[in-house]
A and B are shown apart, each in its own frame.
Chain A
Amino acid sequence: MEIIYNNVSYTHNAKTVLKTNVFENLNMKIEAGLITAIVGKSGTGKTTLLEMLNALIIPSTGSIKVGKWTINKKTSIKDINELRKNIGLVFETPEIQFFNITVKDELLFAMKCFNYQLDKSEKRIKQVLLMVGLDESYLNRDPYTLSNGEKRKIALASILTYNPKIIALDEPTVGLDEVSKKNLIKILNLLKNKYHKTIIVVSQDVDFLHNFVDYVHVINDKKVILSGNKYEVFTNVNLLNEAGINVPKVIDFSYQVLQKKQIKLGYRDQINDLIKDVYRCAR
């Protein structure tokens, strides 16, 4: 499902002294069936963009087109409810989206809300647990007592239950160790390749993102300042630095070699490939 942000402006605390313009005429397109990253430093409104997608925040002016729906001030509640069945939003802090005292109830919650395949609910919740790499032993556990990584998996599983076409994750790697990050990449690739989901990841963890994303939007100063595939974006060192975003460490090293020694290494996702390049060039 394609998403188009069309001239979106948003003012936070509009009628108070704390009035802040978050976006001014922001335009952005998110292609269906791809993994798209939205990066930007703290406070640039990345989370607001995700919340707008689910109509939790309505743009002050402009609109967002999600498939056949348009989100603006005129959108009816009925349309918003229909739209939300197609979007799974996982918040930065997974606990804030938990309501129930067992994982099983948590997973059933959205299915009940959206009246989605309730007759097959038992089968469905087991299926989604497997999709995120957990087993049935979690069903009777209290979601609040799980580890950070497990909570994130349950939060993701709880939105997968109603099979949304769009999955949006806000800072999914915060607090995760490297093993959990690698598992998350596997899950997201599976959701894209096997289940053809449109996936949006808001994150500042560029070393995580550049391993698997297809397309990247960089947000700074109330608008999108750079868009492109990961090769185009993550090699634009100057613009990323200007936007306060780190360059992935593998690319940063290649850039430093080029600057100091005038030797150009290839674009590498993995450290092993980078080393092979170094070996070839140094010997």
Chain B
Amino acid sequence: MKYIIEINNLRAGYHNKIILDNFSLKIKENSWTTITGPIGSGKSTLLKVLIGLHPYEGSVIINNYNLKEDIKKIRAISGVVFEHSDESFVAETVLDEMAFVLENMNLTKSEIKKRVFEVAKQLNIEKLLDKNPYLLSNGEKQYVALAAILVMKPKILFLDEALTKINNCDRESILKILRQYQKGNNMTIVNVTHDMEESLYGDELILINKGKIILSGPKELVYKEENVFNKLGIDLPFIVKLCHKLKYYQLVDDIILDKDKLVDIIWK
């Protein structure tokens, strides 16, 4: 198993407050890792370190590059979508917004056009291409922010509470499309979120509290630790909560994340 991100003995914080101390973590290549935790747990600080926006001590290796020495190389293969995506828009149409990063990569006009239309089709936002990104709804803005990153074909995509501001319908459809895209393009996703429903679309799940990893592993295994989540006041995804209760009543034996399968098993 190849790891694309390797963090060793990381130490980071603000002013005199250390948030992450002696923190180590490895993230598998081509996996989708969800990082969650209560407010103030250190998840956002961790992401800021990974995208090179926060000072730190220790070792952070991303795609075999040292973050301190090769940040430009890391930025060339990674992209970030933030919660307030519109703050980073620079162009007056969605098409120009998506083309912006590619123009800076010195690609030919035909290659830029090809990539923009390809991603617009995959994300089903062709109808938005000639619209002003600032005038779109929150959900549409997040689609555009995502598209403007995906055109550069990043090896790693970081999501920083990127889907927090949008409604459940839009969020689910973005997550589904992103999952499909990730599988088809061998991309690694690191999603920092407090919304556990989003973790259903990932492979690995990491729970952080007070700067330490409390739980980590394939999501199906992490979900079993209901008490740990309850103690921290974190709501598990609806289907996981349902399975825990059904297990209590001995109606199912395990956590089943497929709704259809769960319905079949209960009523068998």
Contact A282 B251 (CB under 8 A): yes
Contacts of B166 in A (CB 8 A): 42
Contacts of A177 in B (CB 8 A): 38-39, 194, 233-235
B138 interface residue, CB < 8 Å from A? yes
Interface size on B, residues (CB 8 A): 38
Q: Which of B118-170 contact A (CB under 8 A)?
A: 132, 135-140, 161, 164-170
Contact B137 A42 (CB under 8 A): yes
Contact with A along B226-260 (1 / 0, CB 8 A): 00000001110011011001100101000000011
Contact B39 A41 (CB under 8 A): no
Q: Which residue of B lies closest to A262 (CB)?
A: B267
Tell me, in angstroms, the Cα distance from A249 to B138 when the chains sit together. Answer: 23
Contacts of A75 in B (CB 8 A): none
B264 interface residue, CB < 8 Å from A? yes
Q: Which residue of B lies closest to A244 (CB)?
A: B169
Contact B233 A178 (CB under 8 A): yes
Contact B266 A282 (CB under 8 A): yes
A42-B170, A256-B259 are known contacts. Are A175 and B165 too (CB-CB below 8 A)?
A: yes
Tell me, in angstroms, the Cα distance from A124 to B239 when the chains sit together. Answer: 44
SS class, residues of chain A in contact with chain B:
helix
Q: Which of A128-149 contact B (CB under 8 A)?
A: 147-149
What distance in Å separates the Cβ of B200 from its nearest Cβ neighbour in chain A?
11
B263 interface residue, CB < 8 Å from A? yes
Contact A207 B39 (CB under 8 A): no
B172 interface residue, CB < 8 Å from A? yes
Contact with B along A242-267 (1 / 0, CB 8 A): 00111001100100110011010000
Q: Which residue of B lies closest to A245 (CB)?
A: B169
Contact A272 B245 (CB under 8 A): yes
Contacts of B251 in A (CB 8 A): 278-279, 282
Contact B165 A174 (CB under 8 A): yes
Q: Which residue of A lies closest to B170 (CB)?
A: A42
What distance in Å separates the Cβ of B221 from its nearest Cβ neighbour in chain A?
22
Contacts of A253 in B (CB 8 A): 238, 242, 259, 263
A271 interface residue, CB < 8 Å from B? yes
Quick one: which of A41, A245, A260, A278 contacts B264, CB cutoff 8 A?
A260
Contact B39 A271 (CB under 8 A): no
Tell me, in angstroms, the Cα distance from A271 to B138 when the chains sit together. Answer: 30
Contact B170 A41 (CB under 8 A): yes
A179 interface residue, CB < 8 Å from B? yes
Contacts of B165 in A (CB 8 A): 174-175
Contact with A along B156-195 (1 / 0, CB 8 A): 0000010011111110100000000000000000000010
Contact B245 A275 (CB under 8 A): yes
Q: Which residue of B lies closest to A274 (CB)?
A: B242
Tell me, in angstroms, the Cα distance from A253 to B263 when the chains sit together. Answer: 8
Q: Which residue of B lies closest to A40 (CB)?
A: B167
Contact A174 B164 (CB under 8 A): yes
Q: Which of A101-139 contact B (CB under 8 A)?
A: none
Contact B172 A246 (CB under 8 A): yes
A205 interface residue, CB < 8 Å from B? yes
Chain A interface residues toward B at CB < 8 A = 18, 41-43, 147-149, 174-175, 177-179, 204-207, 244-246, 249-250, 253, 256-257, 260-261, 263, 271-272, 274-275, 278-279, 282
List 4 other contacts, CB 8 Å, given A42-B167, A257-B266, A260-B264: A43-B139, A253-B259, A271-B238, A271-B245
Offer 27 A-B interface pairs, CB within 8 angstroms, sorted by A.
A41-B139, A41-B167, A42-B167, A42-B170, A43-B140, A175-B164, A177-B39, A178-B233, A178-B234, A204-B167, A205-B167, A244-B169, A246-B168, A246-B172, A249-B239, A253-B238, A257-B267, A260-B264, A261-B267, A271-B238, A271-B242, A271-B245, A274-B242, A275-B249, A278-B251, A279-B251, A282-B266
10 nearest interchain CB pairs? A204-B167, A42-B137, A43-B137, A178-B235, A249-B238, A42-B139, A179-B233, A246-B168, A275-B245, A261-B267
